Structure 1
Amino acid sequence: MRAVAKYGALTTLSSVVLSALVVVPVDAADAGGAHTTTSAARGVARAAERAATAGITFGACPAAERLPDPLVCGTVEVPLDYSEPDGRTISLTVSRVPASGTPERRQGALVFNPGGPGASGMYFPMVAEVPHWKRIAEAYDLIGYAPRGVGRSAPLSCEDPADHVKAPTQSPVHPSASYKRERIAEAKAYARGCARAAGPALPHYNSLNNARDLEVLRAALGEQKLTFMGASYGTYFGALYATLFPSHVARMVFDSAVNPDPEQIWYRNNLDQSVAFERRWEDFRTWVAKHDATYHLGTDAEQVAQSYEKVRAGVAHKPAGGKVGPGQLQAAMLGAGYYDDYWPTRAAALSEYLKGNQQPLIAQASPRPAAAAESENAGAVYTAVECNDAPWPTDFAVWDRDNTALARRAPFETWDNAWMNLPCAYWTAPRGRPAEVRATPGQLPPTLILAAERDAATPYEGALELHKRLAGSALVTERDAGTHGVTGGANACATAYLEDYLLHGKAPARGADCAPHAEPDPASPRPTDRLVELRRRLNPGIRL
């Protein structure tokens, strides 16, 4: 979304042997509609054949990646434009930790994508250190990578990183006409900046090319079929991959699924997301009220909202530490909509501020200059992919009408969400037409969808839609929970289904429900789980 990668998660890939790549898959030629031409499909096959021959040479990771041993790194070449496979290529960075078990237990490579668009999965192999990933790490090489445009993979930028983290900023719940004019001007300037920086390459940062890149990566890794786990936005182009290359799918996990309905991509998905964040914001306030003896912010959700508005008014009048205004406050609180393990620290920051201690809020919400370049890059890729993928309203009157109405019932995130996406109204690159995600009975092996019922970033309706579109998929639902990313380890039930699927290929034919994971404990405000630390590294804008 904003402070967090909007549809965020992790990434790992598998490959194809040379013999499986010489022929263009029948389904690849037409599954993408207007976007996936026969020439592009042939370009994918040609690029994959070259990648299978070249492989990936892994060695010590460059210092710029900040990755510890035993991770090793390499690169894979992919065409910028799959319709011209012999033209310009770009290098995607790849990381790996080999399977830790015995050779006879190895099941291949597991590729993970953390979503975004714009998030890097280079850190993903570090999950081998996390206890509940141990058995999976014994069976699979864990593969991370940075998608095109991200990190050192032909990086995309749209503005000066220093401008990206400027502070303090405003964040009106019901913006004035003059404020809207300011944001329109900023959106136009941002769109021009993307076009100027990327030049003719700009249209090639899109979801279909992300799916095609997976096919080339699979080949480079030497895997005949792809075992892939995508989270959040990673579920969308993972589903595109399954549509384009069903015969090359081994196992696929979709964690926190984006709604793949072409009518939803991306304008309507964002409107639905704002509604879901309102619900999750209420969940947070209800939890805070339950622990009023700790936080003293109110005994019901409405009283907690009033306390929050006092903080908002305070930082609007005088930014905390000169850096935290309403915009920074909103971005920090958005993290509570993604992950409930942030609830104790966010609640404590609000409580301390009202008692006269601004330091916790300053620590959690101040911009981080050291992460400015990484954050700006993530935002640029997010914008380019979503703007390139689909048509957007080009008349601000449409945005104004829809978001003004929505903000009356979902004020928490509606307008901030709109401002994040508004450059798409003024995008100069050609707009795509979303591909139709679909798999008929028997076309795919069983696939696994994991979803939290109250997820805000990817509302539950998206998991239901993906389940309907991928015949033979199994849907596992964490009921009455909303943390974005079910496989974080907090829910043993969901973890068991994930393990059974990845290790044994078993998915519950009729789906399954899991009880919610335990709510956070105010007495333990800073979670120490290793996966939480990885999440912070994957999403540098979020802090506990």
Structure 2
Amino acid sequence: MRRTAVLGSAGTLLVGTLIAGAIAAPAATADGRHHGDSAAYGATVAAERAAKKGIDWQDCPADWALEKPIQCGWVSVPLDYTKPNGRQIKLAVDRIGNTGTPDQRQGALLYNPGGPGGSGMAFPRRVITKNAIWADAAKAYDFVGFDPRGVGRSAPISCIDPQEFVKAPKADPVPDSEADKRAQRKLAAEYADGCKERSGWMLPHMTTPNTARDLDVIRAGLGEKKLNFVGVSYGTYLGAVYATLFPTHVRRMVVDSVVNPSKEKIWYQANLDQDVAFEGRFQDWMKWVAQNDATFHIGTTPEKVRQQWDALRAAAKKSPFGGVVGPAELLGLFQGAAYYDSSWVPVASIWSAYLGGDTQALVDAAAPDLSDTKGNASAENGNAVYTAVECTDAQWPTSWQKWDRDNTRLHEDHPFLTWSNAWMNLPCATWGVKQQTPVDVKTGKGLPPVLITQSTRDAATPYEGAVELHKRLKGSRLITEQDAGSHGITNLVNPCVNDRVKSYLLTGALDSRDVTCAPHATPKP
């Protein structure tokens, strides 16, 4: 579940959360069909069609920025799986062949980076950039990326004009008055209306179960009997729903930084849980900033660093830096430090420079670039998909009193992200499309062992989510990175994690019990 510095639906620049949902699934039969489930039948029809047709691989179009030898292609899927012969949409896919010998090849490895709304099309570039962590897996697997439905080039959806979406400064996410709340509620309702107006034909079908069915059609189009899959963040929920719907189609599955799959959590409660975890990780970072005061000169204790943060927010609110960086834009930047410790040094350095009199570095890092029309369209599309999937996947409270009560209480002790997250998700309260019931994620007959990786201090996907998924998927193994908090740990250097992920992907081997790893190295200024 990954989302950084996104503009919230309520028009506040927000950090986003991760998360999405699904349709209730009747018990699966061994072939992945479901008794009385016409969508499951539709998925079978679509997969058989894709297997027959295959994928017409070509050099990627120049404007896709995917260099040779990466190849690109399309897979057609039904818009509505209950009508497999009805309207089709095309999903963009890309691949790079395995780097080892033909004898070493174990098939295709598909990847989803999260969101909802993230594109996996950059995954094959890990081979070109010679990513050392993934080099051995690349010997065995073709690396395959795809744009999920609604994302990027796969029938992209939109909810608002992209230039309108990025314009700054947004209103401060933390309301001072009932009038502030009314203004945010109006923006959220307008955003929901905009989604229906601009993309209404897609919205009822923008669900995690449908994306899981799409994944199975892509598997078939690749000529693969079974799926090898790595999912990060929201990609873990996509993987969990796939494993529930198609247990016999899974070969190897790695899920990293886990969305809590409990039906009670998807998606309203999951976002509230995130607010608590983000506060904790922001505090971890402030403590580290204080420990490195000799470098940054921001504050010698976490309390003093927090005071400086409050002062920075107040200054941005009173007079936005450069006319464009207010509290919402600041949050978009500083949220990065709570997501990934690779952002600890850069964000602290920009803050330190500001305190030393250099405001421009802060403006350059936090302000939207209105001239980047392609990037802004991509950001708007990502936010639209995030909203569409989470709002359509599950039931959301429609009572403003409930939203107000829950977020007001939570904000008292967890002020970093709470209101920002609330406004980002509030379009779900007035969503113009029927909301589904999430899939009951569980072990289906024939599901092989799944490998779960998670850090204990993750902000975007709190640790409890990994524990919950581990309970639900029998035979799964959980690798815990203790006292670490980066979101997405399979791409970090930690041999205790890396070696086990590699071994599982190459041989299927898992430890006889769950493993706890020491944290990867803490950033040094």
Q: Same fold (TM over 0.5)?
A: yes
Residue number in structure 1 paired with 2:208: 207
Residue number in structure 1 paired with 2:66: 67
Residue number in structure 2 paired with 1:29: 34
- Number of paired residues? 502
Residue number in structure 2 paired with 1:401: 405
The one-letter code of the counterpart of 1:400 is D
- C-alpha displacement of 1:405: 0.2
User: Which whole-Å CA distance do the structure 1 matches of 2:436 and 2:138 have between them?
Assistant: 38
User: Which whole-Å CA distance do the structure 2 matches of 1:172 and 1:238 have between them?
Assistant: 33
User: Which whole-Å CA distance do the structure 2 matches of 1:257 and 1:374 have between them?
Assistant: 25
- C-alpha displacement of 1:132: 1.6
What CA deviation, in whole Å up to 9, does each residue of 1:216-258 have, x standing for no partner?
0100000000001110001101111111111111000000010
Are the aligned partners of 1:308 and 1:350 in contact in 2 as well (CA < 8 Å)?
A: no
Counterpart selection for 1:485 from 462, 466, 488: 488
The residue matched to 1:200 in structure 2 has which SS?
Answer: coil
User: Which whole-Å CA distance do the structure 1 matches of 2:172 and 2:220 have between them?
Assistant: 46
Are the aligned partners of 2:59 and 2:71 in contact in 1 as well (CA < 8 Å)?
A: yes
Structure showing greater relative contact order (alpha-carbon pairs closer than 8 Å, 6 or more residues apart): 2
Counterpart selection for 1:455 from 443, 454, 458: 458
Residue number in structure 2 paired with 1:230: 231
Residue number in structure 2 paired with 1:277: 278
Asked if 1:495 is matched to 2:498, the reply is: yes
Are the aligned partners of 1:44 and 1:212 in contact in 2 as well (CA < 8 Å)?
A: yes
User: Which whole-Å CA distance do the structure 2 matches of 1:265 and 1:256 have between them?
Assistant: 16
What does residue range 370-389 of structure 1 map to in structure 2 within 5 Å?
A: 370=372, 371-389=375-393
What does residue range 191-270 of structure 1 map to in structure 2 within 5 Å?
A: 191-270=192-271
User: Which whole-Å CA distance do the structure 2 matches of 1:340 and 1:291 have between them?
Assistant: 14
What does residue range 9-88 of structure 1 map to in structure 2 within 5 Å?
A: 25-29=30-34, 38-88=37-87
User: Which whole-Å CA distance do the structure 2 matches of 1:494 and 1:24 have between them?
Assistant: 34
- C-alpha displacement of 1:368: 2.6
Residue number in structure 2 paired with 1:421: 425
- C-alpha displacement of 1:341: 0.9
- C-alpha displacement of 1:201: 2.5
Residue number in structure 2 paired with 1:355: 356
- C-alpha displacement of 1:24: 7.6
- C-alpha displacement of 1:200: 3.1
Residue number in structure 2 paired with 1:446: 449
The one-letter code of the counterpart of 1:53 is K
What does residue range 325-340 of structure 1 map to in structure 2 within 5 Å?
A: 325-340=326-341
Are the aligned partners of 2:17 and 2:274 in contact in 1 as well (CA < 8 Å)?
A: no
User: Which whole-Å CA distance do the structure 2 matches of 1:367 and 1:8 have between them?
Assistant: 21
Unaligned runs of 5+ in 1: 10-22, 31-36, 523-544
Deviates more, 1:277-286 or 1:298-307: 298-307
Aligned-residue Cα RMSD (Å) equals 1.5
The residue matched to 2:432 in structure 1 has which SS?
Answer: coil
Instruction: Give the share of equivalent positions with the same residue, in percent.
Output: 52
What CA deviation, in whole Å up to 9, does each residue of 1:432-467 have, x standing for no partner?
000100006x63111100000000000000000000
Residue number in structure 2 paired with 1:528: none
- C-alpha displacement of 1:489: 2.4
**TM-score for the superposition, normalised by structure 2:** 0.93
The one-letter code of the counterpart of 1:307 is Q
User: Which whole-Å CA distance do the structure 2 matches of 1:343 and 1:234 have between them?
Assistant: 24
Are the aligned partners of 2:407 and 2:422 in contact in 1 as well (CA < 8 Å)?
A: yes
User: Which whole-Å CA distance do the structure 2 matches of 1:448 and 1:477 have between them?
Assistant: 11
- C-alpha displacement of 1:25: 4.7
Asked if 1:106 is matched to 2:105, the reply is: yes
Residue number in structure 2 paired with 1:3: 5
User: Which whole-Å CA distance do the structure 1 matches of 2:386 and 2:63 have between them?
Assistant: 22
- C-alpha displacement of 1:395: 1.1
User: Which whole-Å CA distance do the structure 1 matches of 2:163 and 2:30 have between them?
Assistant: 45
User: Which whole-Å CA distance do the structure 1 matches of 2:218 and 2:522 have between them?
Assistant: 39
Asked if 1:521 is matched to 2:524, the reply is: yes
What CA deviation, in whole Å up to 9, does each residue of 1:464-515 have, x standing for no partner?
0000000000000000000000111222211111101001101123110110
**TM-score for the superposition, normalised by structure 1:** 0.90
Residue number in structure 2 paired with 1:146: 147
- C-alpha displacement of 1:172: 4.2
User: Which whole-Å CA distance do the structure 2 matches of 1:151 and 1:230 have between them?
Assistant: 18
Asked if 1:437 is matched to 2:441, the reply is: yes
The residue matched to 1:28 in structure 2 has which SS?
Answer: coil
User: Which whole-Å CA distance do the structure 1 matches of 2:451 and 2:149 have between them?
Assistant: 26
User: Which whole-Å CA distance do the structure 2 matches of 1:503 and 1:436 have between them?
Assistant: 30
- C-alpha displacement of 1:41: 0.9
The one-letter code of the counterpart of 2:466 is A
Unaligned runs of 5+ in 2: 7-14, 20-27
Are the aligned partners of 1:231 and 1:254 in contact in 2 as well (CA < 8 Å)?
A: yes
What CA deviation, in whole Å up to 9, does each residue of 1:315-373 have, x standing for no partner?
22222222211110011001111101111111111111122111221121111331110
User: Which whole-Å CA distance do the structure 1 matches of 2:173 and 2:118 have between them?
Assistant: 27
